[in-house]
Chains A and B, each alone.
Chain A
Amino acid sequence: MEHIRTPKVEQVRLLDRFSNKSTNGTLYLTATHLIFVESGSNNSTSTAQEIWILHHHIASVEKLSLTTTGCPLVIQCRNFRVVHFVVQRERDCHDIYSSLLRLLRPVSYEELYAFSYNPKQSDQQRDEGWQLIDLGAEFERMGVPCDQWQLTNVNRDYKVCETYPRDLYVPITASKPIIVGSSKFRSKGRFPVLTYFYQEKKAAVCRCSQPLSGFSARCLEDESMLQAISKANHNSQFVYVMDTRPKLNALANRAAGKGYENEDNYSNIRFQFVGIENIHVMRTSLQKLLEVIGSRSVSMSDHLVGLESSGWLRHIKAVIDAAIFLSKAVTVEGASVLVHCSDGWDRTSQVCSLGALLMDPYYRTIKGFMVLIEKDWISFGHKFADRCDQLDGDPKEVSPIFTQFLECVWQLTEQFPQAFEFSDWFLLQIHEHVHSCQYGNFLGNNQRQREDLRLRERTHSLWAYLMSEKQMYSNPFYSAAYSESHPVLEPSTLPYHFKFWRNMYHQFDRSMHPRQSVLKTVLTLRENSREAESTLQALQDRLHQLGATPVVTSDPAPPTRDQRSNTLPPRPDSLILGAAINDKEVQRQANERQQQLQEEEEEEEVGQEAVESTDTERTVEGSSGTESRKQSYGELEGTYNSELAKEEPAVVSLEFGVARMTC
């Protein structure tokens, strides 16, 4: 690659962000990644630490002034990883620095990783991956089209609105002239369309952009459009119109010929401001947050004051508050709601998708969550390319709107640990790939652009990849029965329920995390149990084949065999307990059966070979299974296993540095 001047630099030190520790290693620069490999100081058996940083993930590179030990290079990533290298020779440092500067600012889409990434799939597999999520089927699932709502083809060729998808759903009574008229009265032509249909009450959630009302302008087509939305719902006399902006911002927009709906002009609407701040405020807020949490040895007080002054959690709460308002209006009052902000692709996407997440348990499953993102974010034209800074563009367009959405979802998973099929690892993976540009899903700003780029032919779909690893993202505490009994979530909005998402913003700062992870432990137990069960099954089948009578295991195992069974009594109402116990019991039973089997088979030698082969197979599967998980969780949860295995875990926090000095 022409931009890479120095592909390899040795003797580079990686400084830990929050302690005085450092590791030595070699830095490699490739066309797609910056790679740091820890030099094998210990013997080759222990795995050396490797850090792979995708160029697209790099938000900024900074070269600090030369020190006695070398030239420091600080790299901030969009997935909130911060790495601090010290390169011995300034020349090398400068080479890396300038190469990175060029590499992290791609100017055309073709330079993005997605176009060169090749997971070795056939074209058919690639197509299947792209077909995994079908929005037409999703609207059918909601019960649309129906007697009040229909599919319109006005936007088949992106003629009415470029940033909308081709397929749009509108009220039956909204004729083409009404739609076209309404779109002319709406910012960027984004007229009101259906995004979610609450079948139980026939109430609709619609979205659009702000009206071009200025101080007095009105538009009869737009008014009849809202009328049509209202008429489509017999449950309620009126439609809520939620303007998700603070009132002041909406007022200011009037001067530019935009603004909000005048209640006098629209019959039967109820207008409501929600007060979510704009993209610039959100960008600044995140910057402040990162500054606060990035500073070393900060006191509790400074941390809380900083958290408050960043306003980040206040903004998160504002979004969730809005979603709760939406969900209550629809599910309790049975009213239809029209949501908009300025352009209707940032705050509107947040509120519509979160609202639907609260109302519909389907969106809380792994597949459903993908559908939700595909619908409210990708297809309705959230400007991923601009907001995530995919190409070298206007820095003022960058904003963590989608990150906020993911955080809101995480806050809900904390309040309802049983309601979501996925764990926060899933959210983190999505966040990772929204910025990685490794898959085609999030490239570009809208569907039309994606079609022009022929992404479906030239790139791969993230959803297919995530689906193939579904097991890793599952939340062991998920209960489908809970979802059935609690279809609508009613989260608390008391401030202390809103927490700092450490796993997101400190994902790569190992010292911040718990040393042991409940999630990981439970997943491991599950895996073990699954393996034990399949072994059991295999052995039983084998027995059948051999014509032997299966061993009857009606007599329970003597409790002395596994002492832990004494301290782990069954508690039927507990999910965690249930899982753990079952695992242990299953394991134990399986072990016993195996023993018994082996004993038996020692007598009749025929089956021995078979047993052995299953046995080895199992071990291989087992080890590879845990290994892959270790790698993938390694960075998130801290490799606690190796940590604990060392006699003296090297995790004393920086606090002790002070102590030592006093000593």
Chain B
Amino acid sequence: MEFAELIKTPRVDGVILHRPFMPTVEGTLCLTGHHLILSSRQDNTEELWLLHSNIDCIEKRFLGSQGRIIVKCKDLRVIQLDIPGMEECLNIASSIEALSTLDILSLMYPFFYRPMFEVLEDGWNSFLPQNAFKDLETMTDEWRLSEVNKDFSVCASYPPLVAVPKGVDDDTLRKVATFRHGGRFPVLSYYHKKNGMVMMRAGQPLAGTNGRRCKEDEKLINATLRPGKRGYIIDTRAANVAQQAKARGGGFESEANYPQWRRISKAIERSNILQESLIKLVEALNDQSHNMDRWLSKLEASNWLTHVKEILTTACLAAQCIDREGASVLVHGTEGTDSTLQVTSLAQIILDPACRTIRGFQGLVEREWLQAGHPFHQRCAQSAFSNSKPRQEAPVFLLFLDCVWQIVRQFPCSFEFSDSFLVLVFEHAYASQFGTFLGNGTAERVKLSLPQKTVSLWSWVNRPQELQRLTNPLYEANSLVIWPSVAPQSLLLWEGKQQGGGGEVTTHERGPKMRARSVGPTH
């Protein structure tokens, strides 16, 4: 397919660009296969380069012969283009629509992007499971790296290499996989060096209505317990949701079959509810009524902060079980690819100082999100503005970043990275020139040969000049467990996320530290 077929009018002169809190720019608008470009063709003025894949939806309006396109981006930015000429405007709009909804992965920009910088370290090789396992081996010999999934036949969403208890062989793993949702048998997520406790994650057990059991599954997770010790199973679903799951063949671990484990239910909402919440939040942010009561009631109705609180609380609980109670933990929800990962990754931020460095955080995102099989492509296909029917979209990862930001706010000197790093990761998860967040799991990434054909986001970030920009100047390594407060009074709305995004949220001057967006200076 040729992009040219979709581009009816590649170039229009005299287009005026309006962006919130920035001077308007008049210039030439160009459409390429992947970008919408607006340039005044003068020196020293900013050019707009917008990836089509970043566009969530557009609106057309006509004022006489002049057309206006309002572009709403997945990173929550809103910009406006005034285009002279009705026909040009229509052509541009339909081209943008076609190009931004192309759903063929192999046509995405990362496959065409060639880095203009020198790659010092290939990000694709920076965080391989075998390297992470080497670190684990220095602390314990109770775990082994299993290749049971090397052709992705046991679990489609797991990487080829996973860490499992040493005493459990691959045949057992295959049997356990048939008992867990999506074949996601329990694997190691985190090893707490201080007391040797572990956190595992999995999919829900397929107990069904008649309470099927799987001896191998019991054996596998019991293998992680010290003699005489109990463990905790944290189910990220409300008790009734877990109960209902039985009717669809899912369910939870019964007390009788898992006597050494205590189950705790925590209610983290499912993805469609989270998506709705984001849409409502962004709507509230873009409300122009300047009415305080309306804002507070809309913020409340969006439930966004409730979700933040819920996720943080569950993560704290998992961390507490490990660090304070000295118990091992198994976390799962339904699929084990969404709320489960929010909990396991946040618990590691709380427990493990290494995750609070720039590199450590990249490793965490790699391990607990990308390799753990969070379906980024499905979840980030649309964002808050899209009016097309939602399918699998959900701001699961964004909520995770929001929770991290909350902890950063409470421990501003314990994180090596600044706000801007979190914003950067958020933006690239939704639209990027890098291949890191493409696809739904390692299997898909291998099939698309992403490591060979695209550049990793980490290759770009891990260069001195970028790291400089993302470093928190007040960072001092803090080797302790950090317990955040989850009281409503302690949780705030993350401004960096909407800044420039909702547009209006931008402040006149935000102290240097707060300048979160790459849209350019907000002064």
Contact = CB atoms under 8 A, between A and B. Distances in A.
Contacts of B481: 648-649
**Chain A interface size, under 10 / 10 to 19 / 20 to 34 / 35 or more:** 35 or more
B468 interface: yes
Contacts of B488: 298-300, 302-304
B32 interface: no
A308 B297 contact: yes
B290 A652 contact: no
3 nearest A-B pairs in the assembled complex, by CB-CB distance = A495-B295, A303-B488, A308-B296
Interface in B472-523: 473-475, 478, 480-483, 485-493, 504-505, 507-514
B382 interface: no
A416 interface: yes
Contacts of A293: 489
A304 B490 contact: no
B305 interface: yes
Contacts of A655: 313, 316, 486-487
Contacts, number: 179
Contacts of B313: 655
B410 to A, nearest CB: 4
A567 B416 contact: yes
Given A521-B474, A577-B473, A515 B410 contact: yes
A506 B295 CA distance: 23
Contacts of A576: 473-474, 511-513
Interface stretch (A69-77, A497-505, A553-561): A497-505
Contacts of A419: 509
B20 to A, nearest CB: 11
Given A568-B471, A653-B485, A497 B507 contact: yes
A492 interface: yes
A511 B474 contact: no
Given A493-B290, A494-B505, A514-B412, A575 B511 contact: yes
Given A494-B504, A576-B473, A652 B324 contact: yes
B489 A569 contact: no
A659 B316 CA distance: 10
29 contacts: A298-B488, A299-B488, A301-B306, A302-B488, A303-B489, A304-B296, A304-B305, A313-B296, A417-B511, A486-B509, A491-B508, A494-B290, A496-B285, A502-B489, A511-B485, A514-B411, A515-B482, A516-B414, A518-B412, A521-B474, A567-B467, A569-B468, A571-B468, A575-B512, A580-B473, A644-B478, A644-B480, A649-B481, A662-B264
A186 to B, nearest CB: 32
A489 B488 CA distance: 31
Interface residues of B, number: 65
A415 B507 contact: yes
A314 B409 contact: no
B419 to A, nearest CB: 12
A522 B474 CA distance: 8
Interface in A569-613: 569, 571, 573-577, 580-581
A663 interface: yes
Nearest to B284: A496
Interface string A417-451: 11100000000000000000000000000000000
B413 A511 contact: no
A644 B476 CA distance: 12
B454 to A, nearest CB: 28
Contacts of B295: 495-496
Contact of A495 (B292, B409, B491, B507): B292
B508 A415 contact: yes
Nearest to A303: B488
B166 interface: no
Given A567-B471, A659-B320, A300 B413 contact: no
Contact of A300 (B305, B317, B508): B305
Given A495-B295, A656-B317, A418 B489 contact: no
Contacts of B478: 644
Contact of A502 (B317, B483, B490): B490
Contacts of B309: 299-300
B262 interface: yes
Interface in A623-663: 644, 647-649, 651-656, 659, 662-663
Contact of A304 (B264, B290, B299, B413): B299
A52 interface: no
A271 interface: no
A486 B474 CA distance: 28
Contacts of A477: 511
Nearest to B488: A303
A513 B411 CA distance: 10
Given A301-B303, A304-B300, A518 B413 contact: yes
Contacts of A490: 508
B291 A495 contact: yes
A18 interface: yes
B290 A581 contact: no
B43 interface: no
B274 to A, nearest CB: 15
Contacts of B482: 515
A51 interface: no
B5 interface: no
Interface in B98-134: none
Contacts of B8: none
- Among B489, B508, B511, the most chain A Cβ lie within 10 Å of the Cβ of B489
A517 interface: yes
A517 B303 CA distance: 28
